[in-house]
Amino acid sequence: MLQDTTITIFGRPFAPKAVVLLLSLWGSASLQAQEQLDSKARVDSWYLQTIVTTKAGAVDERSGVIGRISGGRTGKDVHDIPAFASVNGAPVAIISLRGAEWGDDAGEYLSDYRAPGQSAASWDLVVTSSDPQAKVTLSWDGLYVISGSQSRGFETQLRNDSKTLRSLRLIDLQRGKVVRRGSKKDGSIKSYTFKMGGE
């Protein structure tokens, strides 16, 4: 049963509790954490699949997909999948939020892809849970590099040694701090655990 706690993000109510996170390729201006991507090590097309789990065992590994692929753009494109009501009341879910900059397409998305390139980018992600006190862990396998073409076919390869992955920063906007990098230099990836109630 959902609790009566509701917060508003981009003018839309979220209940019972949501934790707002930012995944960024250059950090957050408010945190003064900026980093340029090394053009020689840049990966043009990639995606990252976030995974959220609760201590009680609920898992969402189908949403919270971000990346850069051909045909992607800053606004809505054919690769951005709307969440509809699929996450409402879920034990745990992670969605990408798009605000007024998307006009009539503003809302909740399971995925958000941008065009390939080196420019700075950030993705606003929200973790929601039907349990406002759930202990949640956010993680990812690594960066999936996409190669090939439409005529030859596409292939993906998991790359934890990518400088693009190391350039990603996870920022907890409620706490106002960078909580982790996409990966360490040795390719290892640490998860981020927090309580939905903010403790």
Q: In this structure, how many other beta carbons lie within 10 angstroms of the beta carbon of residue 53?
A: 20
**Residues facing residue 180 across a β-bridge:** 170
The predicted pLDDT at position 121 comes to 80
CA nearest 182: which of 9, 18, 43, 19? Answer: 43
What are the residue ranges of helices labelled H in the chain?
163-167
- Per-residue tens of pLDDT for the chain, all 199 residues: 233 333 444 444 444 445 556 665 433 333 222 333 344 445 688 998 888 889 888 888 878 888 888 888 888 888 888 887 767 777 888 888 787 888 898 888 889 888 887 677 888 888 888 888 889 888 888 889 988 776 788 889 998 887 888 888 888 877 777 777 777 777 778 888 888 876 5
pTM of the model: 0.75
Cα 103 from Cα 13, distance rounded (Å): 17
